[in-house]
Amino acid sequence: MRVRINLLQWSLVVLPLLSAAQPTQLITSARPNSDRSADSAGRSASEHQFIDGSASESATDATENQAVLNVLPLFGERTKTAAQIDYEVHFLSDCDQNFSSRQEASKFFADRGWDYISDGQLDTAAYRFNLAWLLNHNNVDAYWGLGVVCYQKEKLPDAIRMLKRGLAVADSNVVLMTDLATVQIKYYQVKQQKDDLAEAEQHLLKAVAINPRSADPYQKLSLVNYMKGEYNKAWEYLHQARSLDLSAIDLTFLNDLLARHPDPKGVFK
């Protein structure tokens, strides 16, 4: 199994007045290219030809509109045209011939999606995640990856919607919960709707209940309570994050919290 690597620096989600950075990445989930198996790398080399080959028989029906739909989450969730149905039939048939199962094929395209996110090719990544979803509606990485793509494109409502769909498939995934909360915190910064912050807090509390050894949810709970003006709680959660992983502490946020309220434990001054 490939190892997930952090894509989001904590400073990307703090309040705009705390950081000038813009949201371009989410905390999770691209896999490093070096982790590809030889078989996967070989398939990846012919990936475009494989997809194009499936589409070639209906190429005359291809339109600019279809190219747009390919990169919308879940193909835009619209009624399918005859050309789309024809393409999907050929694509699924080709996958059935080239993979041992549609679940394996779905994982292959999701893995490629994460690779394209790492390379900054967001539209190509979105298309791969859409294909992964087409092959297996229960592949959490399809929804998760689309959520990351939407977040990086600063389409926060779509990102939240996709991450919630993923969480419906994997409701105990702590990293996914934290990603969803991260986007909801950012959306709260934009819209100032208290429900978004409250829901983010609930996801983070559930995350730490499932895995109390994960530092990142505690760090984000500290930020949530900072936003609520509950500085003692913010410090409490920050110290919990510090005890688990000192590198999880963002110095910019730490300095702003210090400016609002001194550390009750006197560790930070």
pLDDT in tens, 147-169: 999 999 999 999 999 999 999 99
Residue range 29-47: average pLDDT?
A: 48
- Residue 169 pLDDT: 96
Could you tell me the pTM of the whole model?
0.83
| DSSP assignment of 195-218 | HHHHHHHHHHHHHHHH-TT-HHHH
70-171 against 172-268: fold identical: yes
DSSP state of 249: -
Domain ranges of the chain: 70-171, 172-268
C-alpha–C-alpha distance, residues 103 and 108, integer Å: 9
Q: Quick one: which of 137, 211, 142 has its CA closest to 173?
A: 211
- Residue 237 pLDDT: 97
Report pLDDT digits (tens) over 126-155.
Answer: 999 999 999 999 999 999 999 999 999 999
- Residue 92 pLDDT: 93
Class of domain 70-171: mainly alpha
Under a CB-based contact definition with an 8 Å cutoff, are residues 67 and 52 in contact? no
Residue 185: pLDDT over 50: yes
Coil, strand or helix: which one is 117?
helix
Q: Does domain 172-268 have CATH number 1.25.40.10?
A: yes
Q: Quick one: which of 224, 132, 119, 44 has its CA closest to 216?
A: 224
Report pLDDT digits (tens) over 68-114.
Answer: 889 999 999 888 888 888 888 999 999 999 999 999 999 999 999 99
Position 228 confidence tier, pLDDT thresholds 50, 70, 90: very high
Residue range 245-266: average pLDDT?
A: 92
Residue 37: pLDDT over 60: no
Average pLDDT for the chain: 83
